[in-house]
Structure 1
Amino acid sequence: MSKSTISTFELFQMFPDQESARTYFEARRWPDGATCPACNEPERIGTRKGGFYRCNACLLDFTVRTGTIFERSKVPLHKWLYAMYLLVTARKGISSVQLHAQIGVTQKTAWFMLQRLREACGNDPTELVGTVEIDECYIGGKEAAKHESKRLKLGRGGVGKTAVIAGRERESGRVKAEVRDTVTGRNANGFTSRHVQAGSTIHTDESAIYNRVGGLLYKHERINHGAGEYVRGDVTTNGIESVFALLKRGLHGVYHHASPKHLHRYVGEFAFRLGDGDVSHHTMQRLERLFSAAIGRRITYAELIA
């Protein structure tokens, strides 16, 4: 492909209706023909009208939505595809108010759609490798802006906020992130072992939180912000700090508020957009990766509001 993106008009031309979007999703999910999502039967599959199939092995009736975040959604698939397009192309994200206006669904439905898509965004087990910058930030209202009766008397820093610890792979820009009540040495170590490949080089600031993230598995380089040091040779955490700056701009400027309960999904969305959804990939590749991540994931409205 000669360019890295497609316009909204081109997307509408490619997927003008439910049928064209269904055909697209089926080709991505089942390039060799429909396979039962329950028992993985590839051959004894009966075809019915409107994209319905029956597995003659386990008798499951299914569609391309089955076993994905789209399951039991009444929203046409071409509207889902457009919502996916907006999510991967809007650098700071898209709100349910914007989506509801653009695709003609209620704001409640738009919110549910976006939360389902965000659920898929956190579905990448690939470790970060090479030089990885790790840092933490705190998201939430400022204590000084609260009424005196609601302020937490616990000191400075992340008081009353939710912590996000994240790592950024310098070469690719891929990001992994987790939401925590607070960041400690123990969960910083756990984050590193879960998301960074052994043998990689880790760059952090001088915080005591990161005293033990190196160990025997990683090379650990530190930058001393307290001494006014931000770059020393190739040692820096500027990349991951720019990720946090973008995240905060999106949360405050687009979403205005993200509750601690759902914050991990918003963080996962930003991490996806900076990795598999990055603009260095063609828009159609980003859509394919998001759809692949949507397979095997499902969240209900009851689970979201519980």
Structure 2
Amino acid sequence: MKQVDSKERIVMNKKQKISTKQFFRMFPSDEVAMKQFEEWRWGENRQCPHCDSFRTVECSHKTMPYRCKDCRKRFSVRIGTVMQASNLGYQTWMQACYIATVGIKGTASTKVSGDVDATQKSAWFLGHRLRKAWERDGNLMEGVVEVDEAYFGGKEANKHKSKKLNAGRGTVGKTAVVAAKERDGDIQAKVVAETTKRELQGFIEENTDIGATVYTDDHKAYTGLARKHGTVKHSVGEYVKGQAHINGVESFWALLKRGYHGTHHHMSPKHIHRYVNEFASRHSIRKLDTIDAMQIIAKGMVGKRLTYKELIA
């Protein structure tokens, strides 16, 4: 990370954090931020995003400072990333990575708008493009894994009469989310159509190693799970039984619900999977130094695109 001076970090509880003041000392301009994005993406071997050639040279174009000797196309570090076609400066994008990293309960687009000096619409789009960068393929979870499901949204009382589902109380109209957490590690979470045996056990089998020990509550959908399986009987007030508990994944639900109700106030069913992925990904890197977490987001930008048309379709 050549562009970042280690003296600009604060050591706090072994995690090196960055204050807002320090951030702007580290990245005082678009040029400095651009060079850092380039370092994170290419290191010392700049590569053409059009044809993958390493035979590239600098050129005097304002927005495309490099040219490929093989395909002869111009490019910048934005090309082939979620930053492509964005009018926002590199410093703004770097600041957005910083905000996304330090805001453990998420950050509302209205707040981001003021922080980066952009319209609320631009900040909303920026936030969702960063959520695209958070997307990742996790490794199979091993050891002790906690699994649980939760529901979000769907308060019928707040809906217009024409949109009410009129199907009674409980989980009607809500979005179901299932999450798996390694006892001392990562989290994977996914929006599911329903909390059936097929959906929940399918999620577990996709995300856990065959040798993992899975702990759940006593939901009937987990019966017959093809893993070593232990339960706690929430239905009769049991929450810990020796090593069998799901306190870790329930702490994730608490954080996600604070983000839902306290930060964003609402997550539409159309986009809630993006927020769920953001919270799970951020939780999984929560122990990293701030600058290293920012690097993970930046690397996650590569090879992904999200247009405004796609977002609102």
| 1:242-265, Cα deviation, whole Å (9 max, x unpaired) | 111111111111111111111011
The alpha carbon displacement at 1:150 in A equals 4.4
C-alpha separation in 2, matches of 1:98 and 1:184: 38
Instruction: Report the AA paired with residue 293 of structure 1.
Output: G
Q: Does 1:35 align with 2:44?
A: no
AA in 1 matched with 2:304? R
Q: Please report how far the alpha carbon of residue 195 of structure 1 lies from its aligned counterpart in structure 2 after TM superposition.
A: 1.5
Farther-moved stretch of structure 1 (79-88 vs 31-40): 31-40
Preserved contact between residue 158 and residue 182 of structure 1 (Cα < 8 Å): no
Give the CA deviation at 1:87: 0.9
Report the CA distance shift for 1:33/1:147 in structure 2 as closer, same or farther (over 3 A).
closer
Report the TM-score, using the length of structure 2 for normalisation.
0.91
Native 8 Å contact 2:80 2:302 kept in 1 = yes
Question: What is the CA deviation profile of residues 34-87 of structure 1, one whole-angstrom value per residue up to 9, with x for unaligned ones?
Answer: 101232211x21211356211122223211111111111110011111111111
Alignment of 1:1-306 (within 5 A): 3=11, 4-42=16-54, 44-49=55-60, 50=62, 52-146=65-159, 150-172=163-185, 174-212=186-224, 214-215=225-226, 218-276=227-285, 278=286, 280-306=287-313
Q: How many residues are treated as equivalent by the alignment? A: 299
With normalisation by structure 1, the TM-score equals: 0.93
The residue type paired with residue 249 of structure 1 is R
RMSD: 1.6
AA partner of residue 234 (structure 1): Q
Aligned 8 A contact 1:45 1:56 in 2 = yes
Distance in 1 between residues matched to 2:297 and 2:82, nearest whole Å:
11
- Amino acid of the structure 1 residue aligned with 2:26: M
Preserved CA contact (<8 Å) 1:124 1:293: no
Residue type at the aligned position of 1:189: Q
Superposed displacement of residue 11, structure 1: 0.8
Of 4-13 and 138-147, the range deviating more from structure 2: 138-147
Q: 1:130, 1:171 within 8 Å by CA — same for their partners in 2? A: no
The answer (yes or no) to whether the contact 1:133–1:202 under 8 Å persists in 2 is: yes
Structure 1 stretch displaced more, 32-41 or 289-298: 32-41
Gaps of 5+ in 1: none
Deviations 1:147-173 (A, max 9, x none): 66644243443211111111111112x
Q: What secondary structure, in the 3-state scheme, does the structure 1 residue paired with 2:17 have?
A: coil
